Structure 1
Amino acid sequence: MPIINIQLMEGRPPEKIKSLIVKVTDAVAEELNSPKDRIRVLVSEVPKTHWGIGGVPASDIPNR
């Protein structure tokens, strides 16, 4: 059973997360010839305060 973990910075609308899950599932099913009902996609949204870029929290970087 394929398990795909995706970590994203918070802030995307729920419909985008749903679309991502569908598209990743489709891609993995096609590439691995795996039934879709056996594929798991886990999406974790990380707060900008917990996401570091170059040693700085993303929450402190303008336009992030």
Structure 2
Amino acid sequence: MPLVHTYVWEGLDDDRAKQIILGITKVFTDLGIPAEAVRVIIQEVPKSRWGIAGELASERKPRHQDK
């Protein structure tokens, strides 16, 4: 049974979470694994606890890839 644990910044709405879960599940079903066997955990992390290039995400200037 595949288990995918993904980390995202805090503030993810339910619709976006559903899209992420469906997309990850589709990757496995495309490989022939039944959707019922796929588990996805989405863990939200505050930007103040997320580091990028030696900086806190909460202190970085917004960049396109940070969205």
Instruction: Give the TM-score of the pair, scaled to structure 1.
Output: 0.83
For residues 9 and 51 of structure 1, what CA distance do their matches in structure 2 show? 8
The unaligned stretches of length 5 or more in structure 2 are none
1:33-52 alignment, distance < 5 Å: 33-52=32-51
Cα RMSD, aligned residues only: 1.4
1:8-19 alignment, distance < 5 Å: 8-19=8-19
For residues 20 and 55 of structure 1, what CA distance do their matches in structure 2 show? 27
Query: What is the CA distance between 1:37 and its match in structure 2?
Result: 0.8
Please state if 1:61 is matched with 2:60: yes
Q: Which residue number in structure 1 is paired with residue 30 of structure 2?
A: 30
Q: Matched residues, percent identical?
A: 32
The unaligned stretches of length 5 or more in structure 1 are none
Runs of 4+ in 1 over 3 A off after TM superposition: none
One-letter identity of the residue aligned with 2:59: D
Query: What is the CA distance between 1:41 and its match in structure 2?
Result: 0.7
What is the total number of aligned residue pairs between the two structures? Answer: 63
